[in-house]
């Protein structure tokens, strides 16, 4: 069944179509939510809330052009993940961290390729504000204007947090590399 037909049937309340949509997008939604929430059980809760929002709001979905459904689902997934995190502890987008004063050399392409799992680990350890902006920009592909709108912050705050996130990543990678070579 075509996506357009699935959406139409979901809008009519057909459970079989809702199940098809759920099956088609579950992994996508789970992956997005897990990037932000990090813990499996919490992620499952956020995924459940996300699909409830999807099914309640699908009748309002109009723009199916240019991956409209996928983008809409992505937006709901991000928003619900951030809402969950903010309920646990509000994210501070203004705090600077002590390690930002350290000098950083540029990361080479070979470093990035050889340390993919380490990079993922470091991203997961980032302060929530940095991680959120980093994921929204680099992984989800949102512009700073879109991020600012999602998070109700200024575009410049988004850019600043992104710079800090990149610097955090560089510093942590340098420290790991130093440990690896016994420096």
Average predicted confidence (pLDDT) for the chain: 83
- Domains identified in the chain, total number: 2
On whether residue 69 sits in a domain, the answer given is: yes
Structure tokens belonging to residue 131: 């991680």
Contacts of 64 (CB under 8 A, 6+ apart): 3, 4, 7
For 121-140, the pLDDT digits (tens) are 888 888 888 899 999 999 88
Residues 75 and 103 in one domain: no
Write out the residue range of the structural domain in which residue 121 sits.
Answer: 98-180
Angle between helices 40-57 and 15-37 (to 10 degrees): 140
Kindly report the pTM of this predicted structure.
0.71
Task: Classify each residue of 84-103 as buried b or exposed e, where b means 16 or more C-beta atoms within 10 Å of its C-beta.
Answer: bbeeeeebebeeeeeeeeee
On whether residue 29 sits in a domain, the answer given is: yes
């Amino acid at each position: 069944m075509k996506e357009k037909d699935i959406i139409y049937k979901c809008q009519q309340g057909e459970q079989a179509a809702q199940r098809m949509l759920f099956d088609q997008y579950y992994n996508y939604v789970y992956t997005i939510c897990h990037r932000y929430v990090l813990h499996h059980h919490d992620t499952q809760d956020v995924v459940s809330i996300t699909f409830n929002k999807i099914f309640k709001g699908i009748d309002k979905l109009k723009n199916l052009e240019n991956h409209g459904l996928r983008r809409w689902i992505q937006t709901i997934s991000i928003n619900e993940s951030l809402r969950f995190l903010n309920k646990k502890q509000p994210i501070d987008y203004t705090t600077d961290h002590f390690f930002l004063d350290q000098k950083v050399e540029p990361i080479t392409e070979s470093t990035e390729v050889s340390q993919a799992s380490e990079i993922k680990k470091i991203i997961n350890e980032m302060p929530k504000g940095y991680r959120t902006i980093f994921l929204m920009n680099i992984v989800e592909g949102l512009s700073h204007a879109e991020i600012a709108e999602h998070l109700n912050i200024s575009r410049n705050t988004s850019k600043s947090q992104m710079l800090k996130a990149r610097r955090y990543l560089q510093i942590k990678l340098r420290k790991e590399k130093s440990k690896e070579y016994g420096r």
